[in-house]
Amino acid sequence: MAYLFTSESVSEGHPDKIADQISDTLLDNFLAFDENSKVACETLVTTGQVVLAGEVKSNTYIDVQNIAREVINDIGYTKGAYKFSGDSCGVISLIHEQSQDINQGVDRGEKEEQGAGDQGMMFGYATNETENYMPLALDISHKILIELAKLRREGKEITYLRPDSKSQVTIEYSDENVPQRIEAIVISTQHDEFDEDDNAMLSKIKKDMVEILIPRVIKLFPQYVQELFNDEITYHINPTGKFVIGGPHGDSGLTGRKIIVDTYGGKGAHGGGAFSGKDPSKVDRSAAYAARHIAKNLVAAGVADEVLVQVSYAIGVVKPTSISVDTYGSKNVELSNGEIAKKVAEIFDMRPASIESRLKLRNPIYRETAAYGHMGKEPRTITKIFESPYSGRIVREVELFTWEKLDYVDQVKEAFGLN
């Protein structure tokens, strides 16, 4: 019997995502001036206020207040009407030094013997239902909000948009787990006050979302996905009827509260650890990226159509305590899941220092991960500029989303006899 599956996304202007972006931008600045920085930075945003907290061990000093304000302005919170603006909000820093009890278990004389920054289990997932090996409902949800943000910044076709928004997509699957059609799309977007009454305002927003936004989104996908969009989709546009009060004024935001949006939209599994604000010695982040890298390369190599990789660690211990693989019955090789996991452990070195090196995680690459998902984006190289009143100006060329590279496909094929 066919079934429905739903995933959601939130925009860069959502309060929790503002917090994530501030935390990751602070992390980038620490890493730009001291690549060995140990950072665990949390952010809280609310009406007119930003609170920064956490632990840092670094040889550099950065202007955290000014960086937070720049992020807020970049997102689009620049008007007094929003009750939250980078130019006028208060920024309180409660950041202090990292615990030596933790640090002694992580830093070692030999870099390769670096221990895990915490205990826990991390998951990576991949499926061949999309070109970027991500679950389709989440991929569509992200792209709806990416295009909505572009429309807001362009300010031409739709002029009333404010930064805060959310989306949700429900897809019908066949018994063979193949997407059949889109059942429902939910879009809630913050907007300016309208001169018309609420009904006229809502009618205008619904019309613009369906007739302007959705056609732009459809063009982003290959033909087989475009065919899932039809005239029978149920649209829920601003279902409360009005969304003027939003952002941190409407709801406080915290770092790490959107972990399912950040990963796989409810597909696969999640170990519970958030990513943003954490340097790569924290395996919550680095091992989750490494597990995605493994899962994506396994699916791309044809080992299985769908893969979930779990890895676990003990704090201060170099080697993972376990590596496991679930192929959901979709494997294309005559091996058990346990045998596949054993080969994975032979191909991919999952020691924390090796993950950092393989995926180039000691670079300032994290601001770009902090909205619209950490997984499924295109790897690319960009130039970033960092300026500090204390350490000067640095220009860095960095490689983003290295865990999305299909650079182990040939190695995987050879190990599994798929050449």
> Locate tokens 């090789």: which residue?
333
* 282 annotated binding-site participant: yes
**How many distinct structural domains can be found in the chain?**
2
Using alpha carbons only, give the angle 293, 299, 302 rounded to the nearest 5 degrees. Answer: 140
List the chain pLDDT tens, one digit each, 419 residues. 799 999 999 999 999 999 999 999 999 999 999 999 999 999 999 999 999 999 999 999 999 999 999 999 999 999 988 999 999 999 999 999 865 545 555 555 566 667 777 889 999 999 999 999 999 999 999 999 999 999 999 999 999 999 999 999 999 999 999 999 999 999 999 999 988 788 889 999 999 999 999 999 999 999 999 999 999 999 999 998 889 899 999 899 999 999 999 999 999 999 999 999 999 999 999 999 999 999 999 999 999 999 999 999 999 889 999 999 999 999 999 999 999 999 999 999 999 999 999 999 999 999 999 999 999 999 999 999 999 888 889 999 999 999 999 999 999 999 999 97
Q: Are residues 240 and 286 both part of a single domain?
A: no
Query: Does the annotation flag 339 for ligand binding?
Result: no
Asked, for residue 24, whether it belongs to a domain, the answer is no
Count of all residues that appear for the chain in the document = 419
> What's the rounded Cα separation, in Å, for the pair 233 and 185?
7
> Could you say which of 222, 246, 270 is where a domain stops?
246
CATH number at residue 291: 3.30.300.10
Considering only CA atoms, which of 145, 121, 159, 118 is closest in space to residue 17?
A: 145
Residue 175 in marked binding region: no
pLDDT for 123: 98
Is 360 among the annotated ligand-binding positions?
no
**404 among the known binding-site residues?**
no
Is 218 inside a domain boundary? yes
Domain that holds residue 223: 136-246
Residues contacting residue 377 through CB under 8 Å, at least 6 positions apart: 132, 368, 369, 400, 401, 404
> Could you tell me where the beta strands, DSSP code E, fall in 142-230?
161-173, 179-191
Q: Is 123 annotated among the ligand-binding residues?
A: no
210 and 284: one domain? no
CB 168 within 8 A of CB 185: yes
What gap in Å lies between CA 225 and CA 182, rounded to an integer? 10
Return the pLDDT at 59.
93
The answer to whether 98 is a known ligand-binding residue is: yes
pTM for the predicted model, two decimal places: 0.95
Q: Is 42 annotated as a binding residue?
A: yes
In a domain, 409, yes or no: yes
Consult the annotation and say whether 251 binds a ligand: yes
Q: Which residues contact 317 (CB under 8 A, 6 or more apart)?
A: 115, 116
Provide the CA 44 distance to its chain's centre, in angstroms.
Answer: 18
297 & 405 share domain: yes
Give the per-residue pLDDT at 305: 97
| Token duo for residue 60 | 């550099």
Q: Round to whole Å and give the CA distance between 70 and 64.
A: 10
Annotated binding residue 180: no
257 marked as binding residue: yes
Give 322's Cβ-side CA count (13 Å radius). Answer: 11
Per-residue model confidence (pLDDT) at position 240:
87
Is residue 26 a part of any domain in this protein? no
What's the confidence (pLDDT) of residue 100?
Answer: 59
Give CA angle at 307 (302, 308), nearest 5°.
155
Amino acid at site 129:
E
**Does residue 53 lie in a domain region?**
no
Task: Say if 72 falls within a structural domain.
Answer: no
pLDDT at 116: 79
**Known binder of ligand: residue 278?**
yes
Q: Say if residue 79 carries a ligand binding annotation.
A: no
129 is in an annotated binding site: no
The verdict on 196 and 167 lying in the same domain is yes
Instruction: Evaluate whether residue 91 is within a structural domain.
Output: no
Q: Are strands 253-254 and 90-97 parallel, antiparallel or unpaired?
A: unpaired
Pair 221, 304 in one domain: no
Span between the terminal Cα atoms of the chain, in Å: 36
